[in-house]
Amino acid sequence: MTSKSSAEVALIRINIARRKRWDLLFGLLGILALATGLLTIASLFVDMLIGGWERLHPDFFTNFPSRRAAQAGILSAWVGSVLVMIVTATVAVPLGVAAGIWLEEYAPKHWITDVIEINISNLAGVPSIIYGLLALGLFVYTFGLGQSVQTAGLTLALLILPVVIVATREAIRAIPQMIREAAYALGATQWQAVKDHIVPYSLPGILTGVILGLSRAIGETAPIITIGALTFIAFLPPPPIMEAAPYVNFDWLQAPFTVMPIQIFNWTSRPDSAFQQNAAAAGAILVAMTLTMNALAIWLRYRLRKNIKW
């Protein structure tokens, strides 16, 4: 061992100090990068709120769009969004959960299973506008479903199907094997084990995925524009519930419609800044909705992790 002179030790000390400074600097850089993300969300939301503050008034929710910006509202847009989401959820949730159950509980080790799995991960990466083209070619022109609530709902259902499937699979995968073994030991069939144990225990996880999927669907614009949704709708679809028998009415499925994102797009692309105020107000509402849904999903996931210890 050669003993180091004090000059060398000092050099090493300087070197160490410099390295530590770089460490600190990078830590700050990391926080700065994270802050950029946070700042974007904050400035986006605040910008929308300030821009649309004057228009955020109860009338805004109960007025139809209008040529006069000050009287325009989002009634037809939010009703359309709710109706489309109902169709989307009714189609995507059963299909996605069933597909997830099959892949986790039933799927044999077989090339068909591999094909389905690869296919689902590919579908998750397909741009949303391609789903719009699929719907235009297939639902609108081949099946003749029209540019209606049902077409939009189905299109968005296909779009979020991978999200629901992946969430279902992850939730099911977290259930330990002993639950299934216990069910079989008591004479349950596979379906009984699935329906009485696997599905109930994975329900919170599935719900998280469904909420995330719907929060994505509610903000999707491109596929709905592609199927040819109208941008100016000053009437509501026929109500789903009637006073006289048969009490329910499915005419709304075929009705023309508009949704929140399309209304925002329409107002944004007008040169008149009064309409951009409307767009900001509607944008703030849409962002608040998706943020709430995301927060709900995150909270559910957090509770789930905390409460369930197998």
Partner 1 sequence: MPSSQAVSSPRPVSDRLAKRASRHVKERIIEAILFASAAISVFVTLGIVYVLLKESMVFFSQVSIVDFLTDTQWTPLFDDAHFGIMVLLSGTAVSSFVALLVAIPLGTIIAIYLSEFATSHIREIAKPILEVLSGIPTVVFGFFALLFVTPILQWFLPELPGFSLLSAGIVMGIMIVPIISSISEDAMRAVPMALREGSYAMGATRLQTALRVVFPAAISGIAAAYILGIARAVGETMILAIAAGMQPNLVWNPMEPAATITSFIVQVALGDLPHGSVGYNTIFAAGLTLMLFTLVFNMFGFWLQRRYRERY
> Is position 172 an interface residue for partner 1 (rule: CB under 8 A)?
no
Site string for partner 1, 59-88 (x = CB under 8 A): ------------------------------
Instruction: Report 237-256 residues binding partner 1 (CB under 8 A).
Output: none
Name the token pair of 130. Answer: 């391609």
Say which residues have a Cβ less than 8 Å from residue 294's Cβ, sequence separation at least 6.
211, 212, 215
Q: How many CA atoms lie within 13 A of 58 on its CB side?
A: 0
Per-state percent for the chain, helix, strand, coil, to nearest 5: 75, 0, 25
> Is position 216 an interface residue for partner 1 (rule: CB under 8 A)?
yes
> Is position 51 an interface residue for partner 1 (rule: CB under 8 A)?
yes
Residues 67 and 236 sit within 8 Å (Cβ to Cβ): no
Q: Which region, left, alpha or beta, applies to residue 8 given φ > 0 means left and ψ of -120 to 50 means alpha?
A: alpha
Longest dimension (CA), the chain: 100
Q: Which residue's entry shows tokens 């022109």?
A: 141
Nearer to partner 1, 253 or 281 (CB): 281
- How many residues touch partner 1 under the rule CB under 8 A: the total is 88
Instruction: Report 219-238 residues binding partner 1 (CB under 8 A).
Output: 219-222, 225-228, 231
> Is position 31 an interface residue for partner 1 (rule: CB under 8 A)?
yes
> Is position 166 an interface residue for partner 1 (rule: CB under 8 A)?
no
> Is position 125 an interface residue for partner 1 (rule: CB under 8 A)?
yes
- Which 3 state secondary structure label does DSSP give 161? helix
Q: How many CA atoms lie within 13 A of 145 on its CB side?
A: 21
For the CB of residue 40, give the shortest distance to partner 1 in the complex, in Å: 5
Q: How far apart are CA 165 and CA 146, in angstroms?
A: 28
Name the token pair of 103. Answer: 């892949």
Nearer to partner 1, 19 or 57 (CB): 19
For the CB of residue 255, give the shortest distance to partner 1 in the complex, in Å: 19
Out of 179, 265, 296, 304, point to the residue binding partner 1 (CB under 8 A): 265
> Is position 137 an interface residue for partner 1 (rule: CB under 8 A)?
yes
Out of 9, 70, 98, 234, point to the residue binding partner 1 (CB under 8 A): 98
Nearer to partner 1, 149 or 159 (CB): 159
In the beta sheet, which residues pair with residue 248? Answer: 241
Out of 4, 9, 10, 30, point to the residue binding partner 1 (CB under 8 A): 30
For the CB of residue 225, give the shortest distance to partner 1 in the complex, in Å: 5
Nearer to partner 1, 73 or 252 (CB): 73
